[in-house]
A and B are shown apart, each in its own frame.
Chain A
């Protein structure tokens, strides 16, 4: 089995810019979810995608958006970056029949 991979591992942006983070799901998994983890806190759910459609969203504004592709890779896009968006962004994949989530190692985003 291939694991969940995320790119890039680190990224520096300035306030107001836009960013795209990428995730490749584990083979056979059709659900992907994204989490934001601030320093010293647990991950917070952003949204999940199933069959290329968003079907669950946490308490995040619309400037956080995503895409899921037919090959189950996905993207997280954040527009109009704010300083508070600095965090570790985690992607997780799962299959409908399996309750386990498999997380990638994350992308560390710094907004200056």
Chain B
């Protein structure tokens, strides 16, 4: 399986944008880029996913590099509730519900 690399931790201030990077230099053409986050004492929560084009939803935006070797999850205005571990995951449709989680990025949001 192709691997992702994320910073262990990041800090942000409330109401400011947050850019969470993910490197995936060995990504294959059939790998989708998924992001999940895990709040304290909860299971992971789906955030967004994409293949080649940038994606937007109510939670976040996903910016994918043209060569697909990296991507960035963008939270437009961080809130205290966004403090969580964010996981960047490469997923093939043929893998079903098998996700390979790394250690993710611990995001701290300062008031």
Interface residue ranges, A against B (CB under 8 Å): 4, 31-33, 35, 40-45, 48, 50, 55-56, 58, 90, 92, 94, 99-106
The main secondary structure of chain B at its interface with chain A is loop
12 further A-B pairs in the complex, CB-CB below 8 A; given A4-B43, A99-B32, A103-B45: A31-B96, A31-B97, A32-B97, A33-B98, A35-B101, A42-B101, A45-B99, A50-B96, A56-B98, A101-B36, A103-B42, A105-B43
A55 and B98 alpha carbons, distance in the complex (Å): 10
Does B45 lie within 8 Å of A48, measured CB to CB? no
Chain A residue numbers with a CB within 8 Å of B93 are: 99
Does A43 lie within 8 Å of B44, measured CB to CB? yes
Does A92 lie within 8 Å of B97, measured CB to CB? yes
Does B103 lie within 8 Å of A103, measured CB to CB? no
A104 and B91 alpha carbons, distance in the complex (Å): 20
Which residue of chain B is the closest to A33 with respect to CB atoms? B97
In chain B, residues 65-108, which have Cβ atoms closer than 8 Å to a Cβ of chain A?
85, 87, 91, 93, 95-104
Chain A residue numbers with a CB within 8 Å of B42 are: 103, 105-106
Total contacting residues, chain B, CB less than 8 A: 24
Chain B residue numbers with a CB within 8 Å of A104 are: 43
- Selected from A33, A41, A99, the residue in CB contact (under 8 A) with B103 is A41
A75 and B13 alpha carbons, distance in the complex (Å): 42
Chain B residue numbers with a CB within 8 Å of A99 are: 32, 34, 49, 91, 93
Chain A residue numbers with a CB within 8 Å of B49 are: 99-100
A38 and B34 alpha carbons, distance in the complex (Å): 21
